[in-house]
Amino acid sequence: EPEVTQTPSHQVTQMGQEVILRCVPISNHLYFYWYRQILGQKVEFLVSFYNNEISEKSEIFDDQFSVERPDGSNFTLKIRSTKLEDSAMYFCASSGQGAMPQHFGDGTRLSIL
Amino acid sequence: GENVEQHPSTLSVQEGDSAVIKCTYSDSASNYFPWYKQELGKRPQLIIDIRSNVGEKKDQRIAVTLNKTAKHFSLHITETQPEDSAVYFCAARPSTGNQFYFGTGTSLTVIP
């Protein structure tokens, strides 16, 4: 069964640095998403991406964040000037025609020191 | 925006018993309600979903019911097994957009 894959599984970064989280969505999917889950809290929506542009974003997704689909397979989340509170598990998800259901990757645990 | 509440936060049941997890949502126009199971350190996995034009859906030991009037939906697991132990998240998709709004999760423990 095809899966969403994310790299790295764990990223440790100094506060103030930039990080790029990478995702390879399921190959024939059209919609791509980033969510985050702070330890012990609910999964929160960050952004959705369709047809090479952002379709929705939450208030969490401010100018510190950006997404890109640099080629036909990767979908990346960039976080600039990382802060301690950016520490969380970041999940990528994708969905096909009709936008449902969403399939999640294993996540990247981001630790900001 | 949509607000999803989930109860209980923890649930322990004896193996073979049933487990019920309940969620409420605020946006009456929400039209899709998935349930995800997340084992420790692993990805959320879709276990069942329901659309707003259906009141109930069943898949073997798992069922979901939806009450649109009351704006709540529930996950029912029958004949629980130890491997059902995990955190379960409900979610709702509003009519405007494709993002999911998740509940706070229920940690289910099935005691052998």
pLDDT digit string, tens, across residues A26-74: 998 999 999 999 988 889 999 999 988 999 999 999 999 999 998 878 9
> Residue B87: its pLDDT value, please?
95
Top residue of B43, B102, B104 to mutate, by most chain A CBs within 10 Å, is B43
> Residue B1: its pLDDT value, please?
77
Q: Does A41 touch chain B (CB under 8 A)?
A: yes
Rounded distance, CA A94 to CA B48, Å? Answer: 17
Q: Do A33 and B98 touch (CB under 8 A)?
A: yes
Q: Which residues of A touch B102 (CB under 8 A)?
A: 42-44
> Residue A73: its pLDDT value, please?
86
B41 Rama class: left (phi>0) / alpha (psi -120 to 50) / beta? left
Task: Tell me whether residue B72 is exposed, middle or buried, using C-beta atoms within 10 angstroms of its C-beta: 0 to 12, 13 to 18, 19 or more.
Answer: middle
> Residue B54: its pLDDT value, please?
87
Tokens 């919609």 correspond to: A31
> Residue A81: its pLDDT value, please?
96
> Residue A41: its pLDDT value, please?
86
> Residue A40: its pLDDT value, please?
83
Segments of chain B with pLDDT less than 50: none
pLDDT tens per residue across span A61-109: 999 999 999 887 899 999 999 999 999 999 999 998 777 889 999 999 9
> Residue B109: its pLDDT value, please?
98
**What distance in Å separates residue B46's CA from the closest CA in chain A?**
7
Q: Do A42 and B98 touch (CB under 8 A)?
A: no
> Residue A60: its pLDDT value, please?
94
Asked if A109 contacts A21 with a C-beta cutoff of 8 angstroms, the reply is: no
Phi/psi for B88 (5° steps) reads -110, 130
Closest residue in chain B to residue A46, using alpha carbons only: B99
Portion 16-45 of B in contact with A at CB < 8 A: 32, 34, 36, 42-45
